[in-house]
Amino acid sequence: MNKSSETEISSALIKNYTRYNIEFTGGKGAYLYDSKGKKYLDFLSGIAVTGFGHCHPKITEAVEMQLHSYWHISNLFESPGQELLAKKLSKISGLDKAFFCNSGTEANEAAIKFARLYNKDKFKIISAIGSFHGRTLGSLSATGQYNLWKDFKPLVPGFTYVPYDNTVAIEHSIDEYTAAVILEPIQGESGIIVPSEGYLRKVKEICERNDILLILDEVQSGTGRTGKYFAYQWEEVLPDMITFAKGIANGFPLGGVIVSDKVAEFITPGSHGSTFGGNPLAVAAANQVLDLLNSDTLNDIQLAGTGLKETLNILTSEFIKEIRGKGLMTGIELIPEISAKKTAKELLTNGFITGTSGDSVLRLLPPFIITDKEIKDFAEGLSFVLQPENVDKLKK
């Protein structure tokens, strides 16, 4: 592709994304290949989506089988695939019933509506400062980031924002109209922020005492990413609703909400829906993902996460402030002088795909199939990029 056609293609798209000037032509396992034949080690997984890597043979086969059966039938008919997936989700989550949509933002949108259905006299929802719950108006209103919603006011009324990892603030914000608390078990977009141990348990206890619902947004932290099916399971706490998306179908658009029976009871025909929600192809992929995600793979994710942190810790670069996270959801906070975006760009030039959160955090979300050798390769790449003689170009 020559330069002018690249310009032509990008000029036809609305500029709501900053795109790297790279065209991928294929992917296999933990690697992507570009149109110039260059190979990249994928430590981003399409932002926590392709957990089992690119073109996993079993997931490809499951989608192919469905592709030759039917693609779409609407939610007016029986869906054995959705039934099976809902049963699997119920078993691994400890909750009872599932609803399927197409993305994380829609999942949170549904959960907000379900919370208001559950108790019609209550409408307020408490969320955390720094949280990210999506881009549609309901989930954007739940998002505790002024910068993301300042241009779209008025927001949906009824949202209150409290500091993350602070249970006193939640307790103080509750009033007779409070319907729910929505939280990420680990804040992803704002820099892989892991709350103190016991935080979710304490929040659940407050919710129970005040008869309000606890919604956990597992869109990024769920479906194996932290080495448990869902990140809340590190604390052995059971929320009333879980929202999920991203990794559930390894790249097919699928999201959803799993709820307890006490919430499900209030969700009646016509109260919510989606034409494409629970699309058969996406559901076929998701059923295969959950077959691949078992105690052995979860254990492998935990080991790989520990290995990644240990390997990165050996770097002891003067430009790294902190390495944090759980399982394969890892953040590297750089010192304030260094730009995470410039670092990610330099890593990309060296064949490593990473993400960023804010100005200072490199976000690593490698696929679950990552090997020790690939972790070592990445650490060496990062070490090279952060050499004192190379960092001038990474300064903010």
Ligand X SMILES: Cc1ncc(COP(=O)(O)O)c(C=O)c1O
Residues that bind ligand X (CB under 6 A): 103-105, 108, 132-134, 184, 188-189, 217, 219-220, 245
CA distance linking residue 244 with residue 228, whole number of Å: 14
Scanning the structure block, which residue is given the tokens 């509750």?
Answer: 174
Q: Is 132 marked active-site?
A: yes
Nearer to ligand X, 288 or 357 (CB): 357
188 neighbors 220 (Cβ within 8 angstroms): yes
Residue 217 a catalytic site member: yes
- What residue is closest to ligand X based on CB? 104
User: Is 151 a residue of the active site?
Assistant: no
Which C-beta is closer to ligand X: that of 179 or that of 216? 216
Q: What are phi and psi of 341, to 5 degrees?
A: -65, -45
Please, what is the minimum distance in Å from the beta carbon of residue 55 to ligand X?
Answer: 21
What tokens were used for 140?
């954007």
What is the distance between the alpha carbons of residues 291 and 104, in angstroms, rounded to a whole number? 22
Q: What residues have CB less than 8 Å from 166, skipping those under 6 apart?
A: none
Q: Minimum CB separation from ligand X for residue 66, in Å?
A: 21
Query: Closer CB to ligand X, residue 132 or residue 199?
Result: 132
Catalytically annotated residue among 88, 100, 124, 217? 217
Q: In this complex, which beta carbon is closest to ligand X, that of residue 184 or of residue 346?
A: 184
Q: Which of 122, 246, 309, 326 is catalytic?
A: 246
Least Å from the CB of residue 389 to ligand X:
35
Q: State the minimum distance, in angstroms, from the CB of residue 323 to ligand X.
A: 20
Nearer to ligand X, 355 or 381 (CB): 355
What lies within 8 Å, CB to CB, of 280 at 6+ separation is: 66, 69, 70, 71, 72, 73, 79, 81
* Pure H helices in the chain: 3-11, 45-48, 57-67, 80-93, 104-118, 137-142, 146-149, 167-173, 199-209, 261-264, 280-292, 295-315, 340-349, 372-385
| Cis peptide leading into residue 154 (ω within 30°) | yes
Minimum Å gap between C-beta 98 and ligand X is 17
Active-site residue (options: 43, 52, 114, 132): 132
* Residue in the block written with tokens 């192809």: 281
Active site residues: 132, 217, 246
